[in-house]
Structures are given as C-alpha cells and as structure tokens.
Amino acid sequence: MSENTPSIFDLTSRVAVVTGGNRGIGLGMARGLARAGATISIWSRDETKNAEAVAEIEALGVRASSVRCDVSSESSVVDACAQTVEQFGRIDIGIANAGFGTYSDPIGMSLEQWRRVLSTNLDGSFLTFREIAKHMIERGGGGKLIAVSSMVESFGAPKQPHYAASKGAVGAMVRSYAVELARHDIQVNSIRPGWIATEVLDPIVHDEKASKALLSRTPARRFGTPEDLEGIAVYLASDASRFHTGDSILVDGGYTIF
Ligand code: NDP
C-alpha cells in the first residue's frame, strides 16, 4: 500500500466518546483511537482522573476533552452528549465502557446491590447508545456504537449474578440496536474482554494462588492489558468494520475456548 493510500483504519476527523475513559480498558481504547487520529471525549465522574487522561491523550497529538458524567443518570448522559456535540460539532463513535462489578453472596444480595450494578452497566450503556444514536440519525452519515460487555455473558460467574445479568443484557441490547440502526449505516457491536489487569483486578493479579489458577486456564498464559483492547476498538470504530454489526467479540487470550 502506498503512503498516500488512505487507511481503512484511519480515524482522522472522527470524534469518539469513551465512557469510563479515564483509566483501565476505556483509557486503553481511547489511546488506540487517538493513535488512529480520532478526537476523544471522555465521560467519567472523577475530574482529576479525567484531566490526567485528557493530558495523556492530547500528548498523542489529537484533540481531547472530558465531561464529568455519571452514566447511570439520564440527565447527566443527555448533558454530556449535548456538551460534546457543542464542543466538537459531532460524535462518530460511541463506546459504552463504564462499568463495575462487586462480589456478593447471591442469596444475601440486596435489591439495592443488584440495582446499583445494573444501573451503571446496563442503564448507562442504554442511555449512552440512545443519546448518541439520536444525534447520529439526526446528522446522517452513519456511525459506530460499541459496548464493553464481558466473557461472563457466556458462562456462570460465582458471586456475580448482578454483573453477569447486566453484561448478558448489554449483549442482547447490542444485537437489538444493530438491527434497528443498520438502515442508518450505524454498526453496533460489543467487545467481551477476558481477564484484563486493571485496578479492579488488582486483588486477583496480586494473589499468587488465584492468578496461578487463572493463568493455567488461559492459553496465552498472561493477563490481558488495556493495550490489548486498542486494536479491536480501532477496527470496530473504523471503516474496516463497515459490514460488521451485531457481533460480540471475545478478546480473552483464549480463556473461553480452553
Ligand atoms: P476500571 O475500574 O479500571 O475503570 C472503570 C471506568 O468506568 C472508570 O473510568 C470509571 O471512572 C468509570 N465509571 C464507573 N462507574 C461510572 C459511572 N457511573 N459513570 C461514568 N463512569 C463510570 O475498570 P476496567 O477498565 O477494568 O473496566 C472497564 C469495563 O470493562 C467495565 O464495563 C468492565 O465491566 C469491563 N470488563 C473488565 C474486565 C477486566 O478484567 N478488567 C473484564 C471484562 C469486562 P469514574 O470512577 O471516574 O467514573
């Protein structure tokens, strides 16, 4: 390919929103999109971490900003979408990545514990998709919506029925939006990461017994890193995936098939 041939992975002039983009997997994907040329808007709650992430992304030579946003709040997501469109003129790529899990006894779990996880992981992904899709349809010209689900979509997760339910529902939501939005040239997919060494996984990564047990079941024999999610994010955000929709893609070092 000649130097002048435009790459199908080029994201120059595209604007990408990454919820939960101030650290971990979200920041890893944001870095990947930025390296492909995208302008980045980070939607997360911690303003100090937001500012640090924006500085890191800007150092890669692209425009970036952040909005203080709680994705479980409808008004917060509506405002974040309006602010981003006001600032950058458009949104081409929306990544619903913000999420968390807790380990709780499934029998003793309160409804409040259940709902807290669902409201960020599921309601937050829905609100992010809904607001960004509305904008994309109004402006025309298509777009990309990507959710970060989990491999727990497809197997039992001890002490995490709320987390597994939220991610299973996100997968179903993605397929439904994919069907609905295809006519607007909007591709909708999800990524199912395996065990990725971010802050939330620290207790497992630093527990010799637990990490040995997990890695012996992982063909790649290592934990994933946020950098391992860069490539799939760029692919799903770019023209390279223009006929690829409604899918759920594992990035797990082979854990699920072993
Ligand atoms: P981190 O805890 O490192 O990052 C979570 C991010 O989500 C932070 O940026 C946090 O920012 C943001 N966030 C959390 N709640 C909210 C909220 N209510 N509104 C806005 N932002 C929020 O987690 P990971 O990077 O590990 O996880 C990212 C995604 O990947 C999650 O959806 C998780 O379920 C999924 N995942 C992770 C795996 C792993 O092994 N690490 C495996 C499979 C899936 P702030 O607190 O500032 O709002």
CA-based radius of gyration for the chain? 18
Q: Is the CB of 69 under 6 A from ligand 1?
A: yes
Residue 157: CB atoms within 10 A of its CB come to: 19
pTM for the complete prediction? Answer: 0.98
pLDDT at site 89: 98
Cα separation of 254 and 258, whole Å?
A: 6
Find the helix packing angle between 24-35 and 47-58, rounded to 10°: 30
User: Which residue from 76, 80, 96, 77 is spatially nearest to 88, judged by alpha carbons?
Assistant: 80
Cα separation of 85 and 140, whole Å?
A: 14
Between the two ends of the chain, the Cα-to-Cα distance in Å is 37
pLDDT at site 5: 67
Q: Is the CB of 150 under 6 A from ligand 1?
A: yes
pLDDT at site 61: 98
Q: Is the CB of 32 under 6 A from ligand 1?
A: no
Domains of the chain: 15-196+226-257 (3.40.50.720)
Catalytic residue among 163, 177, 235, 255: 163
Q: Which regions in the chain score pLDDT beneath 50?
A: 1
The model's pLDDT over 182-209, given as tens digits with 9 standing for 90+, comes to 999 999 999 999 999 999 999 999 999 9
Asked if 56 contacts 27 with a C-beta cutoff of 8 angstroms, the reply is yes
Residue 23: CB atoms within 10 A of its CB come to: 19
Q: Is the CB of 224 under 6 A from ligand 1?
A: no
Is position 163 annotated as part of the catalytic site?
A: yes
Question: For a substitution probing ligand 1, which of 52, 75, 100 has the most ligand atoms within 8 Å of its CB?
Answer: 100
pLDDT at site 235: 98
